[in-house]
Amino acid sequence: MRKDRIVIKIGGSLLFRKDHRINFQKIEEFCDIIKDQTNYKEPLLVVGGGIIAREYIGFVRNYSGNEALCDLLGIDISRVNAKLLISYLGELAYPLVPATFAELSLAMLSKNIIVMGGLQPGQSTTSVALEVAEFIKASKVLILTNVKGIYDKDPHTFPDAQLLKKITPAQLTDLIIKEASSTQASAGEYRIFDAVSLQILKRSKIEVNVGSGMDLSALKQFWKGNANTIGTIISN
């Protein structure tokens, strides 16, 4: 059977509870789903920074005003978060967090589940997921976040926001520009799709699905092969 590669980004918002403590249950639930055999090869996971990254970034911004330094702190924390998943996955996971594409190439030789965090300043871990997906020729990227997919407006602010089933990269770019705020490109504040990820989306043929990580039942069905997509499909 032909096995494709897949990249899954798990947003940092899913790793921590409201009280900033590690969400043991969510990490267990997510890892237990993806541990099972599927139609895909071992998935490559990209982990976000979450509330802990934003705490560090807030401190550094306050005293240094250095956005690049803030991004670097965000990257460090996302890599620490990646280690949470590596430790839960045990021998199924490659034990190190690749920090460069060269390190990723080496990790790929292991055929284990690879878990990554950030790569370089000026972008989000969604960009990492897309960059890595291009690099390893993945056919699909799943982005698990704290909403069910892409809405026509911010669902946290507008209760009448409509969940979109499908959107093209060009339509997504228009939507994001319309909703943009002045803090959109600050460390810790990159939205689900930042400028870098939008550019990669446009040039690559990878299908991206944005879905809920709060309720992992859709992921479970997808992973079992009972569904082809989750949440919103971004594709041409």
Considering only 6, 78, 79, 167, the residue that binds ligand UTP (CB under 6 A) is 78
Q: Per rule CB under 6 A, is residue 123 in the interface with ligand UTP?
A: yes
**Shortest CB 164 distance to ligand UTP, Å:** 18
User: Residues 173-202: x/- map of binding to ligand UTP (CB under 6 A)?
Assistant: --------------xx-x-x----------
Q: What is the distance between the alpha carbons of residues 234 and 236, in angstroms, rounded to a whole number?
A: 7
Q: Is the dihedral of CA 24, 143, 104, 128 positive or negative?
A: negative
User: Residues 2-31: x/- map of binding to ligand UTP (CB under 6 A)?
Assistant: ---------xxx------------------
Stretch touching ligand UTP by CB under 6 A, among 21-29, 70-78, 202-210, 222-230? 70-78
Q: Per rule CB under 6 A, is residue 124 in the interface with ligand UTP?
A: yes
Considering only 50, 98, 149, 169, the residue that binds ligand UTP (CB under 6 A) is 50
**Shortest CB 159 distance to ligand UTP, Å:** 21
Task: Choose among 123, 125, 38: nearest CA to 85.
Answer: 125
By CB under 6 A, name the binding residues for ligand UTP: 11-13, 48-50, 53, 70-71, 74-75, 78, 118-121, 123-126, 128, 145, 187-188, 190, 192
